[in-house]
Structure 1
Amino acid sequence: MIEKEVKLRIRTSIEDVKRVIDRYGFRFIDRYIETDTYFQHPCRDFRESDEALRIRYRCSSSAGCIYRLTYKGPKKIINGVKYRDEYEVEINDIDNTIAILKSLGFKPVLSFSKIRYIYRDRDVEISIDNLCGVGIFMEIEGDEDRVRELMERFIELGEIVEKTYLEICIDTGRCIPISMDREDMCIEKQLQ
């Protein structure tokens, strides 16, 4: 599958962003806490090859918790929209999955969390993300034409960011992992 998305660093509050999204008819799906752990390949540097392998732990009070293993290929950015191969599977046995990865030489390199609000319409998903320790972002993903259209409409809320959350976390050194019972560590605040 090819991921098509744009990311904005938000310069206003989450509540302001939610009001704008509501005006465009998006429906709220759920609120999640996601903790991502990224792994380094034993024989090549994913930072140089622009690839990523992660395990995501996703929890919500309404949907419960799941683990997913995701591979992302190198990204291409055309007029602010990011294109990237993405393959994802649900994991039923996290301990054995991590044991397999470690046995093959993969090493965990970084974990961080975000509080994510998901909204959808017919062909686009919008995520409002509080990247714990860093600030508020919006991702618009789905049909390419609609992603571009919404990017133009929502640009007033912030600025386009081409970096991934992993790159942002490495560059800032400020991202933190949290647990479901300690979400108070990820204060939802306006960006500086």
Structure 2
Amino acid sequence: MPDGLGELYAEYRTVDGDIFDTCADVALDAFLAAVEEGDARCSQVWSEWSIREGRETYAYLTTDELLTEFAVTSGQASHDRLTVLLPSSATDIVVRQRHYYNRYLSKRLANPLWDAKQLVLFRNIPMSDSVMLTEALTGVRESFGKHNLTRVYAALASGKEWSSVALIEVERKRVLENRQVLERCLEDFGFVTTGPVVEVDTYYSRPDVDYLETVECLRVRERESGCEVTYKPASSATTHGPGGVAAKQETNVALADAAQAEHAHGLLEALGMVLLARVEKARTCYCTPERPELSVMVDTVTGLGSFVETEIVSEEAREEIVLSLEETERLLGLWSHPVVALPYRDLVLGDGRANPANMTGSVSGSSASSILSQPWPGPIPGA
């Protein structure tokens, strides 16, 4: 076929993609028709292919879901030598677009979801090798959604599976006054860094409800390694304390790859959602194997400056988590940094509420006590 339809390019012949697809379709139709008619050679090829493919198991999962299931299941498996299946670095994860299928889909559908193969090289890492395990988790961190990353850390730390637990994120954001000092402190305490990763967050609101007023979040987050859609419920006395500590349950939907962001935007717009703002930031994340539920994020937000966010994901009583968060801030020297009560979305929009009162000074011990005096519920739902 290349000789008859292709053009000479160096020592190769190239064929137009549409012509190749059409010829491939005709050849496949002819082959299948020959199998149905009992052609011996074609039937043998078909039989060998069926046997070979029949021995394979297919799992239709996103990269996030695939990595999580392998890590959690292998980490909890009962055997003499405790190991976990993980890629050792980001280069062990490859996505290859299936161009033939995608060209076919684009001809048949108005807005197709692109098809691709995910190739992951898993390594059997001893759980006793903390150095190799930390390097692996650090290298592939951005391929995990936040909830699934917590599942993996929890399974490795205690053998507990959190897939059915409603996790709450307890967090506080502050203005970052000296990044170099913070980085040295994090290094001294054994935190490992990933990033920086550029994240582009696009925020939406319902047409009949102003999410700026209710402080709800509907967001499409895009990064090079993938994208996700996130919803956070409205703020109330049970989700926000007076010291700028927020505690909300996130609902995250991780999409197959970064190319799916366009479809996510299209879906939200088709549902009548209203575009609010677009926030671009460079995020560097710090974590430690000793505290898998704890993350410290340093953000450089376009048009706003630098911030640091301390976050703990847990199913425990919030009073304990708030105290743990505050102690972490003290150890890292963040206690004197001004608290930022508003989301980046509101700050970028220049919301009228973004006044000095929302960037307060340090939270004193009495203020911290007043946080705990608020109606924080006891056990987090699902605990």
Q: Using structure 2 for the length normalisation, give the TM-score.
A: 0.41
Which residue of 82, 107, 111 corresponds with 2:246? 82
Q: CA RMSD in A?
A: 2.0
- After superposition, the Cα gap between the structure-2 partners of 1:100 and 1:172, relative to the gap in structure 1 and judged at 3 Å, is closer
Larger mean Cα displacement after TM superposition, 90-99 or 127-136: 90-99
Is 1:160 aligned to 2:325, yes or no?
no
Distance in 2 (alpha carbons) for counterparts of 1:105 and 1:133:
28
Partner of 2:176: 10
Distance in 1 (alpha carbons) for counterparts of 2:338 and 2:181:
15
Partner of 1:35: 200
Matches within 5 A, 1:97-176: 97-121=264-288, 122=291, 123-142=293-312, 144=321, 145-153=323-331, 154-156=333-335, 158-171=337-350
More helix by share: 2
Larger mean Cα displacement after TM superposition, 95-104 or 49-58: 95-104
Give how far 1:172 is off.
7.0
Whether the 8 Å CA contact 2:197–2:284 is kept in 1: the answer is yes
**After TM superposition, which residue ranges in structure 1, 4 or more long, deviate above 6 angstroms?**
none
Distance in 2 (alpha carbons) for counterparts of 1:95 and 1:160:
34
Equivalent residue letter for 1:170: L
Distance in 1 (alpha carbons) for counterparts of 2:185 and 2:306:
15
Partner of 1:24: 189
Distance in 2 (alpha carbons) for counterparts of 1:29 and 1:18:
12
Equivalent residue letter for 2:230: T
Larger mean Cα displacement after TM superposition, 46-55 or 164-173: 164-173
More strand by share: 1
Whether the 8 Å CA contact 1:67–1:94 is kept in 2: the answer is yes
Runs of 5+ in structure 1 lacking a partner? 60-64, 174-192
Larger mean Cα displacement after TM superposition, 112-121 or 145-154: 145-154
- After superposition, the Cα gap between the structure-2 partners of 1:132 and 1:107, relative to the gap in structure 1 and judged at 3 Å, is same
Identity in percent: 26
Equivalent residue letter for 1:116: R
Larger mean Cα displacement after TM superposition, 112-121 or 91-100: 91-100
Cα-to-partner distance string for 1:85-138 (whole Å, 9 max, x where unaligned):
211111232232222211110122211211111100223100011111111100
Equivalent residue letter for 1:111: R
Distance in 2 (alpha carbons) for counterparts of 1:139 and 1:116:
10
Q: State the SS of the aligned residue for 2:190.
A: coil
Equivalent residue letter for 1:152: R
Residue correspondences, number: 167
Distance in 2 (alpha carbons) for counterparts of 1:98 and 1:38:
10
Give how far 1:4 is off.
0.5
- After superposition, the Cα gap between the structure-2 partners of 1:133 and 1:172, relative to the gap in structure 1 and judged at 3 Å, is farther
- After superposition, the Cα gap between the structure-2 partners of 1:80 and 1:39, relative to the gap in structure 1 and judged at 3 Å, is closer
Equivalent residue letter for 1:88: N
Whether the 8 Å CA contact 1:5–1:82 is kept in 2: the answer is yes
Whether the 8 Å CA contact 1:6–1:139 is kept in 2: the answer is yes
Partner of 1:183: none
Is 1:72 aligned to 2:236, yes or no?
no
Give how far 1:30 is off.
2.8
Equivalent residue letter for 1:50: V
Whether the 8 Å CA contact 1:10–1:157 is kept in 2: the answer is no
Task: Report which structure shows greater RCO (CA 8 Å, sep ≥6).
Answer: 1
Partner of 1:189: none
Which residue of 201, 217, 232 corresponds with 1:52? 217
Whether the 8 Å CA contact 1:113–1:132 is kept in 2: the answer is yes
Whether the 8 Å CA contact 1:81–1:148 is kept in 2: the answer is no
